[in-house]
Structure formats: C-alpha cells, structure tokens
Amino acid sequence: MNETSNSQAQQLAEAAHHWHLEIDTDGMAWLCIDKEASSTNVLSRDLLIEFDGIVRALAAAPPRGLILYSGKQTGFVLGADINEFPQIETSAQAHELVTRGQQMLACLESLPCTTVAMIDGLALGGGLELALWPATSASRRTKTGRRWVCRKSSSACIRASAARSGPSA
C-alpha cells in the first residue's frame, strides 16, 4: 500500500463535504457517505465528483479492503438528487448525469480489493445500484478480489470487516 496515495485519498476526503474516509490499522478503508446539510443521502452531482476523486486515489494505493457505509440514520442512499432534475434542460445534460453515475460504479469496480457495502435501512434507485454493485460485480471479478453486500448485522459483514462494527471499533 502506497502511503503517499493513501494520504492523497485522505486529503481528498478531508476536503470533501459528503464523504469521510478512515484507513484503520489493518489497512481497511472505511468510506462513509454523509450528504452535507441533508437528512438523507442522495446522489448529487457534487457528491459523485467527490466520490470519483476519493476512489481514484484509493485505486492508486489500494487498501486491504473497502467498506462503504452510511452516516445517516435514515438509510443508505435514496438515489438521485431530484432537486437537480429541474436543472436538466437537454438530453445531453441528462446523458451526462447518467454517465457520471455509471462512471462512479465503474470506478468502484476497478478497485483491486475486497469491497463491502454495509446497508442499514433504505437503498433506492442509484443508491440501490451503489449498494448492490459489490455483489453484481463479483461475477466479473476473478483474481482481483471478492465483492460482498450485506446488512450491518450479517455474518458476511463481520467476516469482511474482521469482526469490526465500524471504523472506530
């Protein structure tokens, strides 16, 4: 693991408004989605841009594993930020928004480490895609790692996170 690149990922996360990253002593990256100034997590344009930068930095110095979880009590991710929909005036703008979401998932898939999505609550629309991406990409991954999706209380999460219940445990 490249400490400089991990430092870069942590610096990007510290500058981010919607993500928090901790790399624990076991080399596991704990990435928390916590949409700023919102009671729920939604996939807004700025949130996706931040995610892309953090995951690309993690790809440059892969952690031992990545655990993606929500900082909200209201669930995982409720999908696209519908407040941004009125700003879409052309089909090209709509295509760009959809493409950004697909790029986010492709970036996540490119990580050469085990990825776990810890879900506690609702995961709708693009949030469901994000939650299921580790599981759906597992069939396409052979040598580079396993992908799991689970609820906080499942035994798979406990195995994947070395019996930890969160980044501070």
Number of domains in the chain: 1
For residue 115, tell me if it sits in a domain.
Answer: yes
Cα separation, 147 vs 137, in Å, equals 7
164 CB-near residues (< 8 Å, 6+ apart): 24, 28
51 CB-near residues (< 8 Å, 6+ apart): 18, 19, 33, 104, 107
Residue 99 or 133, more confident:
99
pTM, full prediction: 0.77
Q: What is the mean pLDDT of residues 116-140?
A: 75
pLDDT for 169 equals 45
Q: Is residue 100 within 8 Å of residue 48, measured between CB atoms?
A: yes
For residue 138, tell me if it sits in a domain.
Answer: yes
Counting every residue written for the chain, the total comes to: 169
Cα separation, 169 vs 118, in Å, equals 15
Give, for 135, the enclosing helix (H) or strand (E): helix 126-136
Number of neighbouring beta carbons within 10 Å of residue 12: 20
For residue 167, tell me if it sits in a domain.
Answer: no
pLDDT digits (tens, 9 = 90+) for 60-116: 999 999 999 999 988 999 999 999 999 999 999 999 888 888 887 888 888 888 888
pLDDT over threshold 60, residue 40: yes
For residue 169, tell me if it sits in a domain.
Answer: no
Q: Which CATH number covers residue 71?
A: 3.90.226.10
Tell me which residue range forms the domain holding 21.
3-160
Mean pLDDT score across all residues of the chain = 79
